[in-house]
Amino acid sequence: MTRVESWERRSEVPLLLLALAFLVAYAWPVLNPHLDHELETSLSIVSWTVWVAFLADFVIRIGLAEERLRYVLRHWYDVALIALPMLRPLRLLRALAFARLLSRSATRTFTGRATLYVIGTAISSVFLGALTMLDAERGVPNANINSFGDALWWACETVTTVGYGDRFPVTTTGRSIAVALMVIGIALVGSVTAAVATWFISHVQAEREDDLDRDKGERQ
C-alpha cells in the first residue's frame, strides 16, 4: 500500500462527514431561501471551511505521491473542483465514499458492490441534481422549475432517461446540469443492465454446479 492510499483510507470517513456537512450547508439555503441572515452566514462559513479541508486533503495527497505531477494530471477533476468555485457543489460527490464503506461490510461480491455503487450514485445524483437545478432556475423568468418537488421530479425523469418534457431548464447553468445528469443516467442504465446480467449468469452457474454435484452424489 502506497502512502497516498494509506492516507486516503485514514481520511475517508472524516471526509465523508465533511461532505455531509457541506451537503447540509449547501442544501438548507436552497430549500429555504428565507433563512435568517446570521444562519445563512454560518452555513456559508461551514461551506468554505469544508472547501478548505478538501483543499488541504488534496495538497497532502500531492505531497505523499511519489510522482506528483503525474498524480495531479491523473486527478485533474480534483484540481477543477477545488480551483473553480462555480463547481464546488460537485465536491458533494465525495459522499459516494459512503457506498464504498457499505460495500466492505455488506458484501464482497462484484454484483453486490456494483449494485451499491449504482444505488448510491443514483440517489446522490437525483438529490444533488434537483438541488443545483432549483438553485439555478428558481426566480428566473419563464422558469417552470420553481420548487424542490418540481426539481426532484425533473431529476428523476432525467436520470432514468425518460424525459417527459413537462419540466425543463431555461438557463444555461440549468441546461449544463441537465447534460451532466443525462450522461450519469445513461451510465447508470448500463451499470444496472450489467449488474442484472451478472447476477443472472452467476445464478445460472450456481444452479448448474448444484445439479452436477447432485448427479455425482447419485452416481456414487
Distance in angstroms (rounded) separating the CA atoms of residues 163 and 72: 37
How high is the pLDDT of residue 96? 43
Which pTM was predicted?
0.65
Distance in angstroms (rounded) separating the CA atoms of residues 33 and 36: 9
- Torsion, CA 189, CA 194, CA 199, CA 205, rounded to 10: 160
How high is the pLDDT of residue 153? 92
The string of pLDDT tens digits covering residues 118-158 is: 676 777 778 888 888 888 888 888 889 888 999 999 998 88
The CATH code belonging to domain 107-220 is: 1.10.287.70
Q: Which residues of the chain have pLDDT under 50?
A: 86, 88-111
Distance in angstroms (rounded) separating the CA atoms of residues 80 and 169: 24
Start-end ranges of CATH 1.10.287.70 in the chain? Answer: 107-220
Distance in angstroms (rounded) separating the CA atoms of residues 71 and 113: 26
Rg (CA), the chain: 22
